[in-house]
Structure 1
Amino acid sequence: MRRIWVLGMAAGTLGAIPHALRAYAEEPRDFLFKWALALVPYSAWAVLGPLVLAVFQRVPLERPRLGRGLGVLLVAGAGFVQVHLLLLAGALAALQRWGAMGVPFLEGTWRLLLERGALGYFEYLLFLAAWTALRTTRRLRERELAESRLAVRLAESRLQALRAQLDPHFLFNTLNAVAGLVRQQRNPEAVEAIAELGHLLRASLEGRGDHEVLLEDELELVRRFLGIEQLRFGAHLDVHLAPAPDTLKARVPALILQPLVENAIKHGIARRAAHGHLRVSSARQGHRLLLEVRDDGPGLGAGGAGGTGIGVTNTRARIRQLYGEPYGLTLEDLPEGGVVAKVELPFLEWKKDMADLERPSHA
């Protein structure tokens, strides 16, 4: 309200200048006095301004009572114009010395009514139109902001749901790997796998509220998961992590690689009778980050790595939810055999100050 009042006063001050200049052209003296006289009508509106704005606020122009509200404001305008003329008459009677000029107050007021009555009502309508436009604009902005916040909360809820669905899937599959070692009576490997699982769970729980993590932290999680799988497969599994050094500080969705690695082992390498190879790499291509998980299993066409499991499906959904359609996940057969899972993300580097604030403490 205060801003509207100040803007109205500024507009009135500028609007009085042409009237003062015209009067000064007719009688070239006392410009400031003529300007003050031209400011009197706007000053009177300034005095009434808080009351006018209070009425505007109490009588909103909204459906279904739009017609009734408009009628009330139009009738109130007639009353405000009368009060404005009385204030204007009092100020002009003092400044122009009506008494010394032999002009009775009622006669001067009647002349003002004839000269400025219609103009005053037009000024009131301008105030009403400006107020309505400003209020409508503000409410549109508030609605857009509310819708934006709702969209963010909805996106957060969807991501939390996807993360909640993924974590148990990750945990159960890891426990199955440990159980396989126990069934094979490979107790030392089982104990080591349980220790690695503890590290995995700690890392997962510490970052549970984070939708994005450093790539180097994500690779550490993958390394521990692959450590368990190597205990299970032994010499049957050969792992190679090859991230580009300039990508390690990039931001990636939490648990983005582990489902793809798990998918490659389960549907690719586990189906091979011979030695299996798994390669995880990252590279920067302009403003994009490319992550790849390659295996030398039987391939998609031979009934190998599937693309509709919960891990792959959730990964696609999370990328789409976080970054939109230009980014995503694809699975392709390799010419030499095997499958490559390619993840394309925007390259967003994690700044040091952001990392200090958002990375979990390991103290």
Structure 2
Amino acid sequence: MNPGEVMAARGPVGGATRALSPGRMWLLGMAVGLLAALPNAVGAYAREPRAFGFKLALAMVPYSVWALLGPLMLATFGRVTRDASPRGRDLGLLVALGSGFVLLHALLLALVRSGLEQWDAGGVSFSEGLRGLLLERGALGSFEYLLFLAAWAALSAARRARERELAESRLVARLAESRLQALRAQLDPHFLFNTLNAVVGLVRQSRNPEAVDALVELGDLLRASLEGRGDHEVPLSEELELVRRYLGIEKLRFGGRLESHLEPEAETLMARVPSLVLQPLVENAIKHGTSRRASRGHVWVRAMRRGDRLVLEVRDDGPG
């Protein structure tokens, strides 16, 4: 039988990045607006070096209005796509709705600027000022709306990707748990029937003390196995103790024909390993290896550290 190896490596686990909340998105939008408004304010101040704060506030007004419309736009985006992955038709509808948001943005902007710039005092009517804003900022407002839509679509895609990743990881964990329980359901009766057959053989040979020892070992083995139910990982020392008890039963069965060697490195004993990772390999080594020898057979169980990996090896000197 060829040696079997089980290797496991532990790496950093990255947590999912939290999605931007509407409040954080608003702050981010205001920060971007400030950066965009600053050159305009500096240019206006260079032409007329006074009231820089007022000029900066005036340049910030369009972005502040977009921030005010942000919750309404987010609600519209979510309603159109219904929190699902936006399709081409949905995006087309949102782009078409953008004209309405651009007009609403221009209307609110006109209301604010008419007061700040005192259009009435300058002989500019509200309708004339609104028309001028549409001509001045219509194309720019459409571009700003499309940027907002693209940012929302990107963040939504990232959130859905994280949710899918989380759902897949939970599914993998449930699948691993179900496989472990299925493995235990197969192995525990196997322990029992094999050992009982061995005990029956010992009794028939009038080897009663050895049969009693085998039953004691069986009780300890089943107790250790049942106590570990539900544990996906156990210390290597516990896994080796389970193997030791199993080998004790098999030694009573084979007498002097079986010799076992447990050789773990001391620094590996506290390593976490999958539950029941070694016993099936040891059982396989005995069944297909040492049990076929007429003379004494040997089984070695080794645990070694190789860098950041744990190497488990089960070897026998049987045929094959």
Q: TM-score band (shorter)? A: 0.7 to 0.9
Any conservation in 2 of the 1:282–1:292 contact (CA below 8 Å)? yes
- Of 126, 146, 151, 1:125 maps to 146
| Number of equivalent positions | 298
Any conservation in 2 of the 1:170–1:259 contact (CA below 8 Å)? no
Is the partner of 1:280 in helix, strand or coil?
Answer: strand
* Distance change >3 Å, CA 98–CA 75, structure 1 → 2: same
User: How far apart, CA to CA, are the structure 1 residues paired with 2:239 and 2:37?
Assistant: 68
User: How far apart, CA to CA, are the structure 1 residues paired with 2:106 and 2:286?
Assistant: 88
Matched, 1:29 2:50: yes
- Structure 1 gaps of 5+ residues are 301-363
- Of 240, 244, 250, 2:271 maps to 250
For residues 51-130 of structure 1, the aligned pairs below 5 Å read 51-60=72-81, 66-67=88-89, 69-130=90-151
Is the partner of 2:49 in helix, strand or coil?
Answer: coil
Q: Return the TM-score normalized by structure 1.
A: 0.73
CA drift of 1:144 comes to 3.0
CA drift of 1:202 comes to 0.6
Is the partner of 2:81 in helix, strand or coil?
Answer: coil
Which structure's relative contact order is higher, taking Cα pairs within 8 Å and 6+ residues apart? 2
Any conservation in 1 of the 2:85–2:157 contact (CA below 8 Å)? no
User: How far apart, CA to CA, are the structure 1 residues paired with 2:233 and 2:187?
Assistant: 15
* Distance change >3 Å, CA 138–CA 256, structure 1 → 2: closer
Aligned-partner residue type, residue 146 of structure 1: A
Q: What is aligned with 2:6?
A: none
Q: What is aligned with 1:49?
A: 70
Matched, 1:39 2:57: no
User: How far apart, CA to CA, are the structure 2 residues paired with 1:214 and 1:63?
Assistant: 44
User: How far apart, CA to CA, are the structure 1 residues paired with 2:71 and 2:198?
Assistant: 74
Aligned-partner residue type, residue 66 of structure 1: G
Q: What is aligned with 1:187?
A: 208
Is the partner of 1:115 in helix, strand or coil?
Answer: helix
For each residue in 1:163-184, what CA deviation from the matched residue of structure 2 results, as whole angstroms up to 9, or x when unmatched? 4333332332222212212222
Q: Return the TM-score normalized by structure 2.
A: 0.82
* Distance change >3 Å, CA 162–CA 28, structure 1 → 2: same
Any conservation in 1 of the 2:195–2:214 contact (CA below 8 Å)? no
- Of 197, 210, 216, 2:218 maps to 197
Q: Mean Cα displacement is larger for which, 135-144 or 287-296?
A: 287-296
User: How far apart, CA to CA, are the structure 2 residues paired with 1:93 and 1:36?
Assistant: 14
* Distance change >3 Å, CA 208–CA 41, structure 1 → 2: same
CA drift of 1:11 comes to 1.1
User: How far apart, CA to CA, are the structure 1 residues paired with 2:230 and 2:61?
Assistant: 62
Q: What is aligned with 2:252?
A: 231
User: How far apart, CA to CA, are the structure 1 residues paired with 2:231 and 2:100?
Assistant: 61
Is the partner of 2:118 in helix, strand or coil?
Answer: coil
For residues 337-348 of structure 1, the aligned pairs below 5 Å read none
Identity fraction in percent = 68
* Distance change >3 Å, CA 10–CA 173, structure 1 → 2: same
- Structure 2 gaps of 5+ residues are 1-21
User: How far apart, CA to CA, are the structure 2 residues paired with 1:293 and 1:77?
Assistant: 67
Q: Mean Cα displacement is larger for which, 20-29 or 116-125?
A: 116-125
Q: Mean Cα displacement is larger for which, 151-160 or 31-40?
A: 151-160
Q: What is aligned with 2:13?
A: none
Any conservation in 1 of the 2:263–2:303 contact (CA below 8 Å)? yes
* Distance change >3 Å, CA 140–CA 258, structure 1 → 2: closer
User: How far apart, CA to CA, are the structure 2 residues paired with 1:93 and 1:272?
Assistant: 101
